[in-house]
Amino acid sequence: MPKTAKNNKAESLKPVTAPLLPADSKDSALTLRLHYLNPQDIDQIWEGYRYAYAAHDGVVRKTGEPYIMHPVSVACVLADLHMDVPTILAALLHDVVEDTSITTEDIKIKFGLQVAELVDGVTKLDKIEFQSASQAQAENFRKMLLAMSQDVRVILVKLADRLHNMQTLEAMNPEKQKLIAKETLDIYAPIANRLGLNAIYQELEDLSFKYLYPMRYSAISKAVKAARGNRKEVVSKILHSIKEQMQALNIDAEISGREKHLYSIYKKMAGKTTNFSQIYDIYGFRVVVKDLPSCYLALGALHALYKPIPSKFKDYVAIPKANGYQSLHTTLFGPFGTPIEVQIRSEEMHNIADAGVAAHWLYKSSDAQLTALQQQTHQWLQRLLEIQSESTDSLDFLEHLKIDLFPDEVYVFTPKGKILALPKGATAVDFAYAVHSDIGNSCVAVRINQELAPLRTELHNGDHVEIITGVIAKPNPAWLNYVISGRARAHIRHFMKSQQSADSAHIGERMLNQALRALHVDAASITEVHWQKLIRDYAVKHKSEILSDIGLGKRQNVMVAHQLLAMTDDHLEKHTKLPATSLDTITIRGTEGMAVQFAPCCRPIPGDPILGFINKDKGLVIHTHDCPSVRKFKLDPDKWLDVEWEPENQRLFKTNLNLTVANQPGMLAKIASGIADAGSNIDNVSVEEADGSAYANLYFTVQVRNRIHLAELMRGLRKIPDVVRINRAKGNPAGNGSRSSSQ
């Protein structure tokens, strides 16, 4: 009875159609693709083949073929890209560690460190247990991309592996097919596009489309086949016209017609909500010339032949895509009024468009200097490293990765004229973080095309962007509502987590000291030895983690205090006891940062009697003592604390006001002026929808120093003619059932 592969893979590559031949056969599918290597290299690859053959001996795939066909097929894809020997060997051996008893160390001894590291980068984390399948998959991507950041060949092997998997996915059940196809469309196809591997990218998209939407795939596929015959004459005429035009102007060029891949046709139909008969550009034309100047000569020749469609010209030669792609794109009015798309590129650009980052191995130089494409790829991989260093959670990292893989991009200029590529929809904050994390963390304003604009402004192609920074500025959590790039989101979240942790540790320390004083113990007498033992018991790395957990309500200060005291010796007991005192109250300054939050249900301000409630998710939340929300909290005294305002606090605090005014022109301006005259600031304002009444309700969130300041503000507003009533609202300033109290 033949064995089956552990992970039940069911894949088989189209190029490998010949039966498996002996290792020394000159006609095998792999041998025919290795013509670019010297005989010694080919011998080394066949040694790897024999090693993999022995490791997988007797194992069959769901398709019924010998398992060795899978690694051979993956190697064929990479050989078509003219990859180097270690990459081909890694392709042959990539499943050996995962599916057999052979270890990475065995491969290192047999084939060297470089091959072993490539294999390890591709190998899944099957032996580690995760909380969920999604977390396991996210961690797999994280490990793979970290290995890729060290050596991009890891992802080339993985993409070839995934391509082969997709090509014979029919052996899987429909549910598994859709799962794998969705993953391929979300992650692998965009990565192939990001690396400029155009052929692999398009095939991965089409195969994913086939399994995710089989009916749509079938309908478009049939329509394209039918259109081939109908449009054959038109395509032939256009090709002939372009060739004649190039010859007449002595431009040496290769002209070809190409059919758009099915998924791109589907996206165009879905995006424009049109049917197939209205998609005229399922055929495109490609003009490949010898050098860069000839590209623009060919463009002029085409525009002389057919009229260009305005706004349909893109110059990716002067401004290449982030993946290194270069080409001139133009859309022309062809014969019979049919729009035709033409790409014009040099031979070198054409090779990079097909092979992308793999083109380095195809045209590797002896000095091994980084090409411009490699430098761009390296910068992108470094950004991935930065994102993963800021993301402690694998699912969080995967979310950032998906955002960063958006294929649509905008190109903007820095003040020094450098071009930055950003995801479509990126804002000024995304730009700031793309320049440098310190610029992003301290940005306060932006000039776009020499004009001041809000930080949330969306950027467009060609914008000149200048970021204005502040010395004491810091990221605003509201930025997460509109930033697009994974880099920006990761840095903002990292800052918020760090800030919250530091603020919570400070609050937690004050709460722990409070609990220790209640037990008549001086906090200074708790030594580092006691803390280190508690750190070991809690399995954390640092004392600040325990204090932060106390501040966030994840640990009780009284319990931690008792555990610390349980570790003390008699000497401590005799000399550190304090006289009995009542519990200290915690002073609220309003500058505690993210660890202390003021409840939006009651908006407490200095002068209000207040209570502190420990919320497990939000930390210390401050309520007014008469807030309806605290009634249920009072039933659990362990979760609330005595707090008081710091005297002479000059910080501004938010509070809500409801006003009823005569419905007359200029009332809003008068009230805004009155608020400004009182030294207050408007944080938010809303107006109740007009109902034809003579009066209107206005809802303000204003900033005041304390209750006295609020009283002065309200007295000033009452003096305004036609202000009928004014109340301080306990709740949101939208009038949605909030409780009000007269001041």
CA torsion 258-261-266-272 (nearest 10°) is: -40
Q: How far apart are CA 409 and CA 420, in angstroms?
A: 10
Backbone conformation region of residue 611, classed left if phi is above 0, alpha if psi is from -120 to 50, else beta: beta
Q: Evaluate the CA torsion angle 115, 119, 122, 125 in order and state its sign.
A: negative
CB 727 within 8 A of CB 658: yes
Distances from the Cα of 708 to the Cαs of 36, 525, 543, 715, 742, in angstroms? Answer: 84, 42, 41, 11, 14
Residues involved in catalysis: 98-99
Name, in order, each residue with C-beta under 8 angstroms of 123's C-beta and a sequence gap of 6 or more: 94, 97, 98, 104
Q: How far apart are CA 192 and CA 159, in angstroms?
A: 7
Name, in order, each residue with C-beta under 8 angstroms of 675's C-beta and a sequence gap of 6 or more: 681, 682, 700, 702, 713, 717
Q: Apex CA 105: angle with CA 99 and CA 109, to 5°?
A: 120
Q: How far apart are CA 479 and CA 168, in angstroms?
A: 44
In a 3-state reduction of DSSP, which class is residue 654?
Answer: strand
User: What Rg do the C-alpha atoms of the chain give, in angstroms?
Assistant: 34
Name, in order, each residue with C-beta under 8 angstroms of 368's C-beta and a sequence gap of 6 or more: none
Residue 382 exposed, middle or buried by CB count within 10 Å (0-12, 13-18, 19+): exposed
Q: Which one, of 217, 237, 219, lies nearest residue 227 by Cα?
A: 219
Long-range pairs for 133-140: beta carbons < 8 A, 24 or more residues apart: 134/395, 135/394, 135/395, 137/183, 137/398, 138/394, 138/395, 138/397, 138/398, 139/394
Name, in order, each residue with C-beta under 8 angstroms of 570's C-beta and a sequence gap of 6 or more: none
